[in-house]
C-alpha cells in the first residue's frame, strides 16, 4: 500500500504558505485515495487530515488558488448565528447553496414530508442557539428553549475568570434530532480556547469534507466566526485548527482540481469588522470588510446534495 504524504508540510517549491496544506491534501487524495461509491456519487477518499491556519493580525484564510464566494459564506454564517433554518431567507440574500437539500423531492426522500419546502429542519443554527429544543418549523420562535451554546461561549469569553475554560464547546451533532434534519451536519463540533489572557483560537472537527467545494467554505466560515467572536469579546484571533474525518473528492471534480494544483497562492487577505454590537445577532454583512483579497479565476464544479 502506498504511504500518504504529511499534510502538515506547508512547503511547495521552497515557498511556505498555509494554503499549501489544502493544495497538498488535494494531491494526497488524488495520489492515494480509494475510489468509493458514496451516497451521492463516486469519490476518491482518504480518512483523517488536519490543517492549521494563523489568524494573527486579522488574517483570514480565504483560498486564493481560486475565487471564494466569501459573501455567500458570510451570509450563511450570520444565518447560523441567528439560529435560522429557513432556506427561503437565504434565497432572499441570493444564497442558493442549500437549494438541493431544501427541495420538495429531497425533503420527501428524507421522510420530511411534513416540512414545507425550504424548511431545513433543526440544522446548524438551531443546534447552535436552541440545542435539542422541540422543532416545529423554521418560522417558530424558539427564544428561551433548548440550550444556547453560542451564548454560553460568548458569556464565558467575556468573563476574565472563565475565558480559559476547557469546556467552550459547540456541537451541531444532536443524535436526538438527526432524522429531522434535511442534512445531518458535516462540521459537527468546534471548541474555543484562550491562552495568554486574550488570544482566541478555534478547533473544528468535521466528519465529512467535500474537498473541492465545501472545505474552502468551511475554512473561511470558522475563521470568520473566530474573528467575530474575538472582536465581540474584546479578544484577539490567534489560530484556526481544522480536523477532518472522511476527506473526499468527487470523480467529476478531479480535472478541475488538477488545474488548481498548478496555481501559486497569493497572500491571504485581512478582515476588518467595523462595528461592535451588543448582541451577536445584530452583526450585518456590511460591517465586514475584506482587504487585499487577490485570487486566481473561478473553477467550476458541480455541487452535490
The per-residue DSSP string of 163-231 comes to TT-S--EEE---TTTGGGSSS--SEEEEEEEEETTTEEEEEEEEEEEETTTHHHHHHHHHHHHHHHHHH
Active site residue 277: no
Residue with the bigger pLDDT between 1 and 251: it is 251
28 domain-assigned = yes
Question: Which residues fall within 8 angstroms of residue 93, CB to CB, at 6 or more apart?
Answer: 75
101 domain-assigned = no
Domain span at residue 188 reads: 15-81+149-291
Q: E strand or H helix at 71, and its extent?
A: helix 70-81
5 domain-assigned = no
Averaged pLDDT score across all residues of the chain: 94
8 domain-assigned = no
Q: What is the pLDDT of residues 135-189, one digit of tens each?
A: 999 999 999 999 999 999 999 999 999 999 999 999 999 999 999 999 999 999 9
Distance between CA atoms of 148 and 223, rounded to whole angstroms?
A: 21
251 domain-assigned = yes
Q: What is the pLDDT of residues 223-238, one digit of tens each?
A: 999 999 999 999 999 9
- Give the CATH number of the domain where residue 195 resides: 3.30.572.10
Catalytic residue from among 186, 190, 202, 233 = 186
131 domain-assigned = no
Distance between CA atoms of 272 and 224, rounded to whole angstroms?
A: 10
Q: Helices 214-232 and 149-158: crossing angle, nearest 10°?
A: 40
298 domain-assigned = no
- Domain tally, the chain: 1
Q: What is the pLDDT of residues 66-121, one digit of tens each?
A: 999 999 999 999 999 999 999 999 999 999 999 999 999 999 999 999 999 999 99
212 domain-assigned = yes
Amino acid at each position: 500500500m502506498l504511504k500518504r504524504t504529511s499534510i502538515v508540510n506547508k512547503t511547495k517549491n521552497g515557498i511556505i504558505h498555509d494554503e499549501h496544506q489544502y493544495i497538498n491534501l488535494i494531491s494526497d487524495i488524488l495520489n492515494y485515495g480509494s475510489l468509493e461509491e458514496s451516497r451521492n456519487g463516486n469519490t476518491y477518499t482518504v480518512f483523517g487530515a488536519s490543517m492549521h491556519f494563523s489568524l494573527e493580525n486579522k488574517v483570514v484564510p480565504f483560498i486564493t488558488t481560486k475565487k471564494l464566494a466569501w459573501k455567500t459564506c458570510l451570509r450563511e454564517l450570520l444565518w447560523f448565528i441567528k439560529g435560522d433554518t429557513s432556506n427561503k431567507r437565504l434565497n432572499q440574500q441570493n444564497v442558493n447553496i442549500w437549494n438541493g437539500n431544501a427541495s420538495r423531492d429531497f425533503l420527501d426522500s428524507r421522510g420530511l414530508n411534513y416540512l414545507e419546502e425550504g424548511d431545513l429542519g433543526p440544522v446548524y443554527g438551531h443546534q447552535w442557539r436552541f440545542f435539542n429544543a422541540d422543532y416545529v418549523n423554521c418560522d417558530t420562535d424558539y427564544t428561551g428553549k433548548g440550550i444556547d451554546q453560542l451564548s454560553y461561549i460568548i458569556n464565558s469569553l467575556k468573563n476574565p475568570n472563565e475565558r480559559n475554560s476547557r469546556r467552550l464547546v459547540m456541537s451541531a451533532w444532536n443524535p436526538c434530532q438527526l432524522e429531522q434534519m434535511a442534512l445531518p451536519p458535516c462540521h459537527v463540533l468546534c471548541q474555543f480556547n484562550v491562552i495568554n489572557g486574550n488570544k482566541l483560537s478555534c478547533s473544528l472537527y468535521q466528519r465529512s469534507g467535500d474537498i473541492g467545494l465545501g472545505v474552502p467554505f468551511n475554512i473561511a466560515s470558522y475563521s470568520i466566526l473566530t474573528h467575530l467572536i474575538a472582536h465581540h469579546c474584546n479578544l484577539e484571533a490567534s489560530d484556526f485548527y481544522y480536523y477532518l474525518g472522511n476527506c473526499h473528492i468527487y470523480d467529476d471534480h478531479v480535472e478541475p482540481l488538477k488545474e488548481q494544483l498548478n496555481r501559486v497562492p497569493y497572500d491571504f487577505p485581512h478582515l476588518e469588522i467595523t462595528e461592535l454590537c451588543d448582541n451577536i445577532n445584530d452583526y450585518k454583512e456590511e460591517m465586514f470588510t475584506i482587504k487585499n483579497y487577490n485570487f486566481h479565476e473561478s473553477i467550476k464544479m458541480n455541487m452535490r446534495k
